[in-house]
Structure 1
């Protein structure tokens, strides 16, 4: 469809790369719909890992081809062509072919995207390879103020002289007429359709998304206005409170000078806390507004001015970005309440109440505040999370001087605590216990005990599990022979049960069973979460006659199955950040690197592995670590399949293994390994040097291992029929 918008409707900023501040050169589109020069992105990618969008800071997983695999922004290319032609039509501009003729009228070849003088245009029309090209004269260009003559024609990469005019719905690929005869012949495997038909349907989908954007934009914009209004009132309230404080304390100046300074400091901190919270909230809301506005603009331009080919090129990308933004749950409330200075004690009574003179009244209600005490382990930094609430039970901001936290160990000695604000109304009380046993944590807000204060805190030694999930059985919340474990997108713990042929998902804080679903296959074995999938889908391996790798939704719906002779009897797998998979195949004595669709990329470890069972990856160093249960050691390979090193041998001493199984990598690149034979969980440095033993698990049989975001290691205790969590960091 021809666009009717002229070049004058666009300013230079639209055609300028935000990195180099020049007109785009080979513009490429990121998944967040922001466009940059190909060279700028390549340079940016060398400086930053993982790659983030320079504009919105969204993390980007590049295709296997790197920046070259990103979509080209043909719409911007067309606008740049338009600008070039308008400039070229003026006097004194040389022909882009002969580079010498500056006189006379010019013509534009849409196939070659080239401006030519009359002589070159005449030759161009006669040459065999270009005689059928669409050449438009200067008069036509000047008469047509739209962009229809500046749509670069897209040609088939295989049949260079053929224009892309079909879309194979089976292969999801743009093709030419020759392709429909050779590689994409209509039939059960291919369904070529004219691109105009497919583009029409895609455009209708994008138009529906545009209609959904407007209400959300209005909601976010209104929230920004409300935050600005509250920020405007913040300083006057501060001034009123300061004036009242000065008036009150002037009468008591000789006795209350120190107390007055305390209250002023508290007021100032309250204002800073409120201001920071409101500013943070405003910035967060504006950030979402910018992202949604940007997506709207891009989608609008694609719908109204993009060619059919452009719609097909970026339509899915636009749809994914917009749907992600629309589905994102936003907290648009600023939650700020007014504060003022209060005279708690009359001047005549101050001698008896000097310690309580003055104070800052906020909306915090100590009886509604909540504290969650995290499991505590001797020698580790431990935390309790405090949420300050108002009388309506909503989280609200207060200043740090309104909160006091004191801890006593079993001997009643003080344990130093530290208070840090994590977010609006949420505080972290941290402490380092030096002894085990029952501790006591006292928390006060506005000098009042919280409900439940003082809280009992049991500090355990580091080799005792701080938390156990499940017990033997087949019911809800019970486990039978768990073999692998992973943390899902929401921070919950998903477990593959070898004995119950199912996956069960547990709440990571309380250990309650949230969901379970059967595995289509005789025996589930390995489980991982697809990082590149915003829906948090699971990938599982299963053994038996119906062996294979299966993809499930977060709710447990089977989506698809990969079965191939390349990976008979797959054991445990690891999904890489770009969607590729590494599968350990014990009976096949090798690992396989697979594409996201299950197709084989390469074999790894053939001839070096006896019985590989579990695998993990340190993607920062491009290293795969494989547990070789048959050889009682860990082998390291690079992603090209080259052997790097191995470590370990059979034995019961530090650094030795008894049929190693589960393996995981921590943030420092250390390697955590669980033993099938004796249940020890050991930690090794990136080079395989033994560091320490974490614990020996229940049942003396450790299989799958994963690290949780809050610093615990979760171990599948197969013979103990449970998941044990130990403090790790």
Structure 2
């Protein structure tokens, strides 16, 4: 009998440290004497000699002596199994959310692909049916016109015929002149009737619809258009809410698990960069994504955000006149250093010099070209064109550097290229315009001339269950897009090439990487991220790795500034960078505090 000890065992019989074990084998009715570790079973002497002599077997009492640690190992294994099961339960909840999000995205992508095709076919069907309806109406009218003309001619002919019958009957009593006159009139009526009968007689025409010549092969191809396949380059982890470095989220990482407990609203992980080379697919995607963001589009010098805890300039008081604002929101800077401000209540755009001096303004309330209804976001491309999100008109308007109207695109709707309350705009070096289509919960990209490029549906935020509502937007120096999520209090990094969110960061609160209604956002040319944390009354500055650098709190009770430009209830709206790297942002008052205050200023430069 082989008595070599087995290194580990998961066998778990009813163990008791007693001798004289009298339970019998059901097959041979002999007392059970041995334990076979290989087969995990109790044996009688006959069973052992029959088929277990080559196995690792012990007598029952000797087994307890040699394997007295087995009970505790099995208890520990049970504990580990319980912990593992609980972890799997938590992961199952996350996986269920990811499955929902993935399937929702698939369904939306399928709709976006096929609905334009279906709409085109329905439009063609509608056009042809309109032709048939108009044809029916015209042909019926022509037929009734022909019958009416024939009827009138027939009545005239019958009248003359009666007179001729009278002439034939009483001709000897009538004058020759009268008889000749009636004959000539009858000839004219006959000629008229014959002509009408020839021209106006209804023609029994027949039209036929010729169906498009579509080979059966094409029909089969249409039936098989599109497919749903596993994306080997993505998994649920990549699209989850596990926080990671926003600016580097599209690179390859090795994710290490962390044993530290975290809050329910955010999960922390340790991240190491993978030293492996990027795949060809990633390289090709980066090659295609050649458009990058600039802090000041067209500026030849690199713009880097400067830290300052004190304001260097404040301008734009409350009012309707030149240089005055009522409800400003958007801000941007051009390569000359001029500062552009949108005013949602005055419905215009105003331009100020780098020193805050008023230069000019354009626009007024309306729906026509060059008019606005609550303009919000604004940006300037490298050619100096001014791009404005005309929010309540559901469109984007583009102007020359001298404010001459050039073009507009978008109108109210949910289809690709249509907009619903677009809040902000951004432009990259390829002159691609990104729009936060807020009420449609998506990002849309357009080219230089306003032609639709792509849409990026945003879906549901996994850790809140609410729809993602984008507000502020900017391009990063790597060509990705950062948007603020006004409803879910976080930031999303979006890859335009992959057309999806690749990372999410932040949650509701006032601490590190916590926000309350984040609004405007911008990046400097090193990737530093500046966020207008609206309801927290501050500007937050992060490195490209989302390390907190500094904050600008605009409340006098916090910053200790003894000026009257801001009060405790003012909020930050939008943010931009000057050519020198100074942070310029817009503040707004609560509607309840909009009483006239001559000392108020709404544009601040730090």
Structure ranking higher on relative contact order (CA contacts 8 Å, 6+ apart): 2
What TM-score bracket applies, with the shorter chain setting the length? 0.3 to 0.5
TM-score of the pair, normalised by structure 2: 0.41
More strand by share: 1
